[in-house]
Amino acid sequence: MPIQSVQLYSLSADGAETVVQSGMVTLSEVNEGRTRSLGGVRGVACVAAVNGSLSRPDMRIMMNTDDVTRMFDDVATSQILDDPETSGSQDGLGIFYVERRMSYVPSSLDTSWNNKMLTCIAHEDGFPDDSASAIVTARCTLKL
């Protein structure tokens, strides 16, 4: 089955996830003397979804032309969703839904990512690739 969607999320320090729609994501870190903490947006996640497939999509993550996939944690989930066309019937049919989620939450901010394009590319055999991308801004703040 073809890729249904590819989304890029920002991950905040309080655990909230927000879909990146502006084409830009800012990762921020606050340094207070000897104490260093990630504040605001602390990481990013790429999520690819496929409906009607038993296999999860392949995913590659690029920072400009560099493959950074190995830096991301990989989680796959699958579930059977109710088919709206057979809802309420006794046949028990559903749609198999597979999601691949790859996330990156650094212990300290990598400023080498500043002003680079982060691209998540999802692939399912026999179908065209789908992708999502955003420019990354890496911002460090020093508080005295």
Q: For position 81, what pLDDT does the model report?
A: 56
**DSSP secondary structure string, the chain?**
----EEEEEEEETTS-EEE--SSEEEEEEEEETTEEEEESEEEEEEEEEEES-SSPPEEEEEETTEE-GGGSEEEEEEEEEEPTTTTT-SS--EEEEEEEEEEE--SS--GGGTTEEEEEEEE-TTS--EEEEEEEEEEEEEE-
The CATH number of whichever domain residue 54 belongs to comes to: 2.60.40.10
Whole-prediction pTM: 0.77
pLDDT score recorded for residue 47: 92
Which structural domain, as residue segments, surrounds residue 136? 5-143
The pLDDT value given to residue 35: 45
> β-strand 5-12 against 41-51: which pairing, if any?
antiparallel
What pLDDT does residue 144 have? 57
According to the model, what pLDDT value does residue 14 have?
77
Q: How many domains does the chain have?
A: 1
Tens digits of pLDDT across the chain (144 residues): 788 899 999 888 777 888 998 888 888 776 655 544 445 667 899 999 887 777 788 999 999 999 999 999 998 676 655 555 544 545 555 567 788 899 988 877 777 888 999 999 999 888 999 999 999 988 776 665
